[in-house]
Amino acid sequence: MTIETLAIEGLSTPVSRIGLGTWAIGGWMWGGTDEKESIAVIRRALDSGINLIDTAPVYGFGASEEIVGKALADGYRHKAVIATKVALEWRDGKVFRNSTPERIRHEVEDTLRRLRIDYIDLYQVHWPDSLVPIEETAAVLNDLRKEGKVLALGVSNFSTQQMDVFRRGAPLSTAQPPYNLFERDIDGDVLPYVKQHGLVALAYGALCRGLLAGRIDVNTKFGGDDLRLHDPKFLTPRRGQYVAAVKALDVFARETFGKSVLALAVRWVLDRGPTIALWGARRPAQLDGIEEVFGWRLDANAFAQIDSIVDRYVKDPVGPEFMAPPQRVQVA
């Protein structure tokens, strides 16, 4: 399998255009995790040529980074480009934004320890913090870059205006927004900005919390703290609309390209620009189908037909806004 790659400013290694997303591996908001299976899926991804592993401290409150660190042992570190994040804190199971220089300095040391590495390839601000000037956040991250603790910097869930401010204080290589063929808000602003300024977009939610894998129907049950229990797309009546759209997209993909809807969804992300699709998996079998993504492309006619199918079935669309953590409140 030949995996497409692209260059990210600040990194010497070309990065695979599919990255392994590890939020679910952390277990939090995904109904738990299995460490042995998680290590196996990370190593399978690396062995198959997927070199980008995207994680974050908040994924399982350290658990995801710790599992990634264990998976990198026994000679796997050299295969991996590690992208992680900073500037979320948690107290009593609740998550808050915190981009203060003090928090960032504390977090980077914890992250390096959990990942068992001596530098981070790509360090991303997870969410903007309205209580901290972006210039301060950018400055401390740039210091970490100069110190060699990180190689490249990115932001996640930032607006174009916020990226402009960040870029005045530090070199910016990537943006990480939610993006899939059901959630396309960045088409009007962030994606054109990424193209204009030579950045790369890491699209999280490329399979829309599993909807676009084609295995979820109206009767699929979710347990524990699974975020899909509260995701508006998975609640009645919207779930029926999205499931019907996925079924129609699957028919289109198979009749037109001989591919699955999962491959179509990832190919859609890759053909929108300088993008990387983050593919979440907790078990090795959930990486089956990656080989279907490469070696073909969508043209303008295919994009138009996909749009028509989505518009036909999804009458009450909703975005990923429910996932945003709360802003901190200034205490007098």
As a whole number of angstroms, the distance between CA 189 and CA 144 comes to 29
Catalytic residue among 59, 179, 193, 242: 59
| Maximal CA-CA distance, the chain | 62
What's the token pair of residue 138? Answer: 């950018």
Distance (Å) of CA 143 to CA 8, 56, 136, 138, 169 = 19, 20, 11, 9, 10
Of 180, 321, 178, nearest in space to 245 by CA: 180
- Taking each helix axis from N to C end, the angle separating 160-169 and 134-146, rounded to the nearest 10 degrees, works out to 50
Helix (H) or strand (E) run with residue 122 in it = strand 120-125
Q: d(Cα 70, Cα 204) in Å, to the nearest integer?
A: 23
Q: How far apart are the first and last CA of the chain?
A: 58
Q: How many residues does the chain have?
A: 332
> In the annotation, is 76 catalytic?
no
Write out the catalytic residue numbers.
Answer: 59
